[in-house]
Amino acid sequence: MSPPIELLSSVFGFDEFRPGQAEIVEAVTSGQNTLAIMPTGGGKSLCFQLPALCRDGVTVVISPLIALMRDQVRALRQAGVEAGALTSGNTEEETAEVFEALDSGRMKLLYMAPERLASGGTVNLLRRIGVSMIAVDEAHCVSQWGHDFRPDYLRIGELRSDLDVPLAAFTATADEETRTEIIERLFAGQRPEVFLQGFDRPNIHLAFQVKNGPRQQILSFAAARKGQSGIVYCGTRAKTEGIAQALRQADHSACHYHGGMDAQDRRGVEARFQREDGLIVVATIAFGMGIDKPDIRWVAHADLPKSIEGYYQEIGRAGRDGAPAETLTLFGPDDIRFRRTQIDEGLAPPERRMADHGRLNTLLGLAEARHCRRQVLLAYFGESAEPCGKCDLCDTPADLFDGTVAVRKALSAILRTGEYFGAGHLIDILLGNETDKVRERGHDGLPTFGVGKEYDKRQWQAVFRQMMGYDLVRPDPERHGALRMTERARPILRDEETIELRRDTIRHAPRRPAVKTLVSEEDAPLLSALKAKRRALAEAANVPAYIIFNDRTLIEMAEKRPISLDAMAQVNGVGAKKLESYGAAFLEIITGDTPDEMHPARRKLAGRNAAQLFDRLQDAQGALCRGVDGSGKYLTCSSATLRHIAERQPSDLRAMAYIPGMTEQKTDRFGHAFLEILAEDVS
């Protein structure tokens, strides 16, 4: 077998390795378990493709996207390498061709998605064809704390053990926590050879802007780069279509791409982007992972990305040829609210959601950075750097001021309200707004009431956003978006540290029409949590979500916040059967506590006047269970009997005696006390 350096030239057409590649190729070729973290565009695919040609047997490559696999297989075949993919997108002819190459021993690289590992026959197939190495692309997908978790990646560690072959894992986006989990899950905790090549892409210019007419901002950015290939990432499918149309109307060559399109149409966009110079693709994040187009000159985000790892991966699709490339990311309060809602409506446990809020705070810290953005970005991945001179804040430094007083006021409001409220209510306190909610809770009497009138509401929102960027506060998933202080906030609150804020983003916080939302900003996190519970119950019962409760019912729950099953029964859409089936589960979401078990007879009265009568009758019975003097025989009425009394409300002892279960002895013991309670209720 030819040495790697010869194959590098003869097969791949390169005279030399990129920095860091040679060491990784040597480790993988020699059969060492390997984890390589390389910057996007750093040539990581070559680091498992080249060793596959140097080793006997087949290398199986686990990859997350069909487009990515198809692109790499196409490139390898054009280079004369026998490679194939087994995917759900294959035609019968393509699958037959792959198996023929495997059976004849010609295949060197076999690509497959992690979901295929769930098939019982996959391991037997891989044993039969003589797999000698496993390569895992986008290895961060194995991390449940990462930004792109794929559950089927968890099977890869077991596959490595079953086949007893070396494994090489590659990713461009893994912080220290994610790297630790990759090692634990793929290598059973046994430390592989780790290569950390750095995350810096010095040819990419970084820039952020607060949204202020976002469509026009994107159009202006594209107009200044007319004729250059670019990608615009959007948070929704509808927006991809709208912005693509606007770009075409502005005389750009543009098309849209999202997961709702027909597979053949998506392939057409991918092929067109590879082939066509100057094409702009407006896409959801589904686009780009499988596209190895070296001359993408710019990437814009019309909406805030999901995470800092996602941001790094997406901007990394620009400038892979090493030539200068530019990025622009737009963000605003609505983006942040949308991303918070995605986290809160997820089914992850509270500690995971709290960590996800922290990761979103890190991205806000990059968006609201006060100094060089590249320093902030690389610091997240554990690297230090000098100011880059190639970002918008190096081009034009931010206008900074000592914001300690404003931040301390906000932290004081959080602390004095028990860390139990979101930014909207806290801002009302700081501004001295006497809302119903402020008055009901007595917050108009707090020392912080009205101390923040130097800013208006939108400016205070910008202050809170910067506080989140500093990770001074995080939304608490268990308190439905209430802001909880982190340890970083304590020294500022104690006047032990000062803090700088950006005056420009506070002063120029955009005045925009209020976005119509289902509920107020304060109630939105609780509504998200209720929807998450509804989804979990619906999936478990295999029914549509609205069968559990419709949106209107959940909105009323979020606004009224019932604290008992009686109060829950007053919510429109909560009938007796649904109260019995789901009431306790949703009440636990609202109150944070498991409600006391309620007797079925009592639960049938929930929300009605008879429910309170039942409780008072039960209390009276408890006081008389051994008679007036406490020395009599122990005697009680059943819950069903108390329910009948509460519903029928007999007016005298004779009528009381006709109640099922009311014996003469029980009527003598409890009758007069029960009648007094019923008479009080009538009066």
Rounded CA-CA distance 432/160 in Å is 62
The whole-number average pLDDT for the span 273-282 is 87
Task: Give me the pLDDT at residue 460, please.
Answer: 93
C-alpha count within 13 angstroms, C-beta hemisphere, residue 648: 16
Rounded CA-CA distance 372/397 in Å is 8
Task: Give the H/E segment covering residue 474.
Answer: strand 473-476
Rounded CA-CA distance 667/256 in Å is 78
Task: Give me the pLDDT at residue 513, please.
Answer: 44
Task: Tally Cβ neighbours within 10 Å of residue 615.
Answer: 15
Contacts of 42 (CB under 8 A, 6+ apart): 18, 20, 21, 172, 197
Task: Give me the pLDDT at residue 250, please.
Answer: 94
* Widest pairwise Cα distance in the chain: 106
Q: Which of 264, 267, 269 is nearest to 240 (CA)?
A: 269
Listed range (78-92, 263-277, 343-357) with the worst mean pLDDT: 343-357
Which residue has 């009276």 as its token pair?
620
Task: Give me the pLDDT at residue 396, please.
Answer: 93
Ordered by where they begin, the domains of the chain are: 4-196 (3.40.50.300), 204-331+368-395 (3.40.50.300), 400-507 (1.10.10.10), 524-597 (1.10.150.80), 609-682 (1.10.150.80)
Q: Which of 304, 307, 272, 308 is nearest to 287 (CA)?
A: 272
Rounded CA-CA distance 158/105 in Å is 25
What phi and psi values does residue 455 have, to the nearest 5 degrees?
-120, 155
Task: Give me the pLDDT at residue 517, please.
Answer: 52
Q: pLDDT tens-digit profile of 314-329?
A: 898 898 878 889 999 9
Q: pLDDT tens-digit profile of 490-529?
A: 999 998 999 999 998 887 665 544 444 566 767 778 888 8
Q: pLDDT tens-digit profile of 530-579?
A: 888 888 888 888 887 778 888 888 988 888 888 788 888 888 888 878 88
What phi and psi values does residue 81 have, to the nearest 5 degrees?
-100, 135
Listed range (222-236, 590-604, 645-659) with the worst mean pLDDT: 590-604
Q: Which range in 482-486, 630-634, 679-683 is most confidently predicted, on average pLDDT?
A: 482-486
Rounded CA-CA distance 626/636 in Å is 9
Helix residue spans in 441-488 (DSSP H): 457-469
Tell me the helices (H) and strands (E) count for the chain, helix number first.
Answer: 33, 18
Q: pLDDT tens-digit profile of 134-185?
A: 999 989 888 865 556 788 888 899 899 889 999 999 988 777 778 888 999 9
Rounded CA-CA distance 328/331 in Å is 10
C-alpha count within 13 angstroms, C-beta hemisphere, residue 493: 16
Return the structure tokens found at 53.
């040609």
